[in-house]
């Protein structure tokens, strides 16, 4: 069942979204050569808790961190660890904050020091593909319209989108209906209605779309060892333009 949010629920989600976005800003400021993803995790968790929120990811289905920290060929769900980041790495940080029972969810990919032009292009295309999809996050469009815009832009630029993992509805639960694939499926998905909240999150591979899951049962890696990037925001569907709850200045 797709939950339509009330005005009071939307106000709580706005706070959760703002805190999520601000946590990512603080992580971005800390990304540099020599920092560890565990340190980035702690920065995000400390900020989230300082704002009266709870890290949405911590202990979610057993996940140990407050952020997913995925470096280079790790697409999503990487565990924060004590390995220092190196010059030229890219790191995807996915984080959520829960305020009075309501969640925000967002992700960004950051370059560490000087990165290659192709790595930067991957990050830029991933980010832009989100905004291409978000143009259709409006009342009356279907999920498939978002998916088609994302896939089309990514593939036009010579990259591929991950299958089997996708965006999702969000609200009182971190993951709710509907699924938001980053590629066109036979199922067009439901029509979007004002009051729906969704997390749209392109996961884009530099090479092929194939992947494998690490022995820890969480981290998802590119099968060819090439880079991957991730960009996500929580979006509120309105009767006008979409509201990006996790995008902060």
The DSSP code for 61 is G
Q: In the CATH scheme, what architecture does the domain 7-241 have?
A: Alpha-Beta Complex (3.90)
Q: Please give the structure tokens belonging to residue 188.
A: 């067009």
Q: How far is CA 52 from CA 39, 98, 165, 183, 184, in A?
A: 21, 9, 30, 36, 39
For 125-181, the pLDDT digits (tens) are 999 999 999 999 999 999 999 999 999 999 999 999 999 999 999 999 999 999 999
Confidence (pLDDT) at 228? 98
Confidence (pLDDT) at 189? 80
Report the run of H or E that residue 114 belongs to, with start and end: none
Confidence (pLDDT) at 69? 98
Using an 8 Å Cβ cutoff, are 200 and 101 in contact? no
Confidence (pLDDT) at 211? 98
Q: Please give the structure tokens belonging to residue 174.
A: 């971190």
Those residues with Cβ within 8 angstroms of residue 217's Cβ, 6 or more apart along the chain or in another chain? none
Q: What is the pTM of this model?
A: 0.97
Q: Which residue ranges of the chain lie beneath pLDDT 50?
A: none
How many other CB atoms sit within 10 Å of the CB of residue 244?
A: 19
Q: By three-state DSSP, how is residue 52 classified?
A: coil
d(CA 92, CA 122): 12
Confidence (pLDDT) at 222? 98
Confidence (pLDDT) at 204? 98
| Domain ranges across the chain | 7-241
Beta bridge partners of 199: 168, 234
The distance between the two most distant Cα atoms of the chain, rounded to a whole number of Å, is 47
């Amino acid at each position: 069942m797709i939950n339509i949010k009330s005005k009071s629920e939307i106000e709580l989600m706005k706070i959760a979204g703002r805190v999520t976005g601000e946590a990512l800003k603080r992580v971005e400021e800390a990304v540099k050569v020599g920092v560890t993803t565990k340190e980035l995790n702690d920065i995000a968790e400390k900020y989230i808790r300082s704002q009266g929120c709870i890290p949405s990811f911590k202990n979610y289905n057993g996940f140990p961190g407050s952020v997913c920290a995925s470096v280079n060929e790790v697409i999503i769900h990487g565990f924060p660890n004590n390995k220092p980041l190196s010059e030229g790495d890219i790191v995807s940080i996915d984080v959520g904050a829960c305020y009075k029972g309501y969640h925000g969810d967002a992700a960004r990919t950051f370059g560490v020091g000087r990165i290659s032009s192709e790595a930067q292009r991957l990050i830029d295309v991933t980010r832009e593909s989100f905004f291409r999809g978000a143009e259709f996050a409006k009342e009356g469009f279907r999920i498939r319209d978002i998916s088609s815009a994302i896939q089309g832009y990514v593939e036009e630029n010579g990259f591929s989108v991950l299958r089997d993992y996708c965006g999702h509805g969000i609200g009182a639960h971190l993951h709710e209906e509907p699924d938001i694939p980053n590629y066109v499926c036979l199922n067009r998905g439901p029509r979007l209605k004002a009051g729906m909240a969704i997390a749209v999150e392109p996961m884009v591979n530099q090479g092929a779309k194939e992947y494998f899951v690490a022995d820890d049962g969480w981290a998802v890696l590119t099968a060819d060892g090439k880079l991957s990037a991730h960009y996500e925001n929580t979006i509120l569907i309105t009767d006008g333009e979409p509201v990006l709850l996790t995008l902060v200045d």
